[in-house]
Chain A
Amino acid sequence: MSWSAASFGACLLLFGDGQGLSAEETLAWQKVQPSVVLLTSGARTTGLGACIDESGRFLAHRAAVPLPVVMAKLSSGVTLTLTRESEDEVTELVLLAVANPGNRTFRPVQTAKADKPLPKSLLAVLAAGPVRADVAAADKLGVVTRQRRVLPLTELNFEAPAHQVAGALLFTLDGELIGVLNATLPQELPSIRPPVAKGIDPAPAAAGASLPALTQQYGPGGLTVAYSVAPTVLERVIDGFLSPSKKVRHPALGVFCKDAAGGGAEVQRVLPGSGAAKAGMRTGDTIVEMGGIAVKNQIDFARIMLHQTPGESLSVRVRRSGKTIELNVVVGELQ
Chain B
Amino acid sequence: MKHRNEDEVLRLAFGDLAGEEARRARELIERDADARALFDEYSGIAEGLRKLPVAEHQLSTERLRQAILDRGLKRSRVAAAWRWIWAPAAVAATAYVATVILRPGATSTVMDSIDRPVPASTSSAAGVEAPKIELPSGTDTASEALSRPLVARSEPEIRPAPAPTSIRAESAPTRVAVRSEGSPSRGGSASSPALPEDLSREIMSTVAAAAPSPSSPEPGVPLVIIGADTDSQTGLNRATEVSTSRNVVVGG
- A residues in contact (CB < 8 Å) with B: 1, 61-63, 66, 89, 92, 136, 140-151, 153, 155, 157, 159, 162-163, 165-167, 181-190, 218-220, 223-227, 249, 251-264, 268-269, 271, 273-275, 278, 286, 288, 290-305, 307-315, 319, 324, 328, 330-335
Chain B residues contacting A226 (CB-CB under 8 Å) are 234, 236
The answer to whether B131 and A263 touch across the interface, beta carbons within 8 angstroms, is: no
Known: A143-B224, A254-B131. A269 touches B103 (CB 8 A): no
Inter-chain contact B118/A304, CB cutoff 8 Å = yes
A103 nearest CB across to chain B (Å): 34
Complex CA gap A184/B227 in Å reads 10
User: Which residues from chain B sit less than 8 Å from chain A, CB to CB?
Assistant: 101-111, 113-125, 128-135, 143, 146-147, 150, 161-164, 166, 168-169, 171-178, 180, 186-189, 192-195, 199, 202-203, 206-207, 210, 213, 215-218, 220-228, 230-231, 233-241, 245-252
Which chain A residues lie closer than 8 Å to B226 at the CB level? 142-145, 151, 182-183, 227
Assuming the A-B contacts A259-B218, A330-B130, are A291 and B105 also in contact, with contact meaning beta carbons closer than 8 angstroms in the complex?
no
Q: Assess the B125–A310 pair: CB atoms within 8 A.
A: no
Select which of B128, B161, B166 is within 8 A of A185 by beta carbon: B161
Give the residues in chain A near B173, CB-CB below 8 Å: 219-220, 223
**Which of B124, B172, B207, B230 is the one whose CB lies under 8 Å from A312?**
B124
A41 to chain B minimum Cβ distance, whole angstroms, is 12
Contact, CB under 8 Å: B216 / A259: yes
Q: Which residue in chain A gives the minimum CB-CB distance to B249?
A: A258
Q: Verify A220–B248 contact, CB threshold 8 A.
A: no
> Can you report 21 residue pairs joining A to B where beta carbons are below 8 Å apart?
A63-B230, A141-B224, A162-B234, A183-B236, A219-B173, A220-B171, A254-B133, A258-B207, A263-B106, A269-B199, A269-B202, A271-B133, A274-B133, A278-B131, A288-B108, A307-B118, A315-B120, A332-B131, A332-B133, A333-B131, A335-B134
- What residues of A have a CB within 8 angstroms of the CB of B223 in the complex? 141-143, 299
On whether the beta carbons of B121 and A262 are closer than 8 Å, the reply is no
- Which of B118, B119, B195 has most chain A Cβ within 10 Å? B118
In the complex, are the beta carbons of A163 and B150 less than 8 A apart?
Answer: no
> Quick one: which of B102, B108, B128 has the most chain A CB within 10 A?
B108
With A162-B234, A292-B118 already in contact, the answer to whether A225 and B161 are too (CB < 8 A) is: yes
**Contact partners of B194 in chain A: CB under 8 A:** 146
Closest 5 A/B residue pairs (Cβ): A262-B105, A219-B171, A332-B131, A315-B121, A166-B235
Task: Pick the contact of B105: A163, A261, A268 (CB < 8 A).
Answer: A261
* Chain A residue at minimal CB-CB distance from B216: A261
A187-B233 contact in complex given A252-B251, A268-B206, A319-B106, C-beta closer than 8 Å: yes
Query: A-side binding surface: helix, strand, loop or mixed?
Result: mixed
* A166-B234, A190-B174 given; 15 more Cβ-contact pairs under 8 Å: A62-B186, A92-B237, A142-B239, A143-B250, A219-B172, A263-B106, A269-B203, A278-B131, A296-B108, A296-B111, A297-B220, A297-B245, A307-B117, A311-B128, A333-B133
Contact of B134 with A220 in the complex, beta carbons under 8 Å? no
Chain A residues with Cβ below 8 Å from B206 are 258, 268
Which B residues touch A295, using CB under 8 A? 108, 111
- Structural contact, B111 and A185, CB atoms closer than 8 A: no
Given A153, A189, A293, A302, which contacts B175 in the complex, CB threshold below 8 Å? A189
**CA of A249 to CA of B230 in the docked complex: distance in angstroms?**
25
Most chain A CB atoms below 10 A, which of B121, B129, B246: B121
**Interface pair A311/B129, CB less than 8 Å apart:** yes
User: Is there an interface contact between A140 and B236, defined as CB atoms closer than 8 Å?
Assistant: no
Are A257 and B249 in contact (CB-based, < 8 A)? yes
Min C-beta distance of A138 to chain B, whole Å: 12
B172–A149 CB distance below 8 A: no
A146 contacts B108, C-beta separation under 8 Å: no
Query: Are B125 and A299 interface neighbours, CB within 8 A?
Result: no
Give the distance in Å from the alpha carbon of A187 to the alpha carbon of B222 in the complex. 20
Tell me if B101 and A261 are in contact (CB < 8 A): yes
Contact B150 A218 (CB under 8 A): no
Least distance between A191 CB and chain B CB atoms (Å): 11
> Closest CB-CB distance, B133 to chain A, in whole Å?
4
Nearest CB of B to A327, in Å: 10
Contacting pair A259 B124 (CB below 8 A): no
The answer to whether B124 and A311 have CB atoms under 8 Å apart is yes
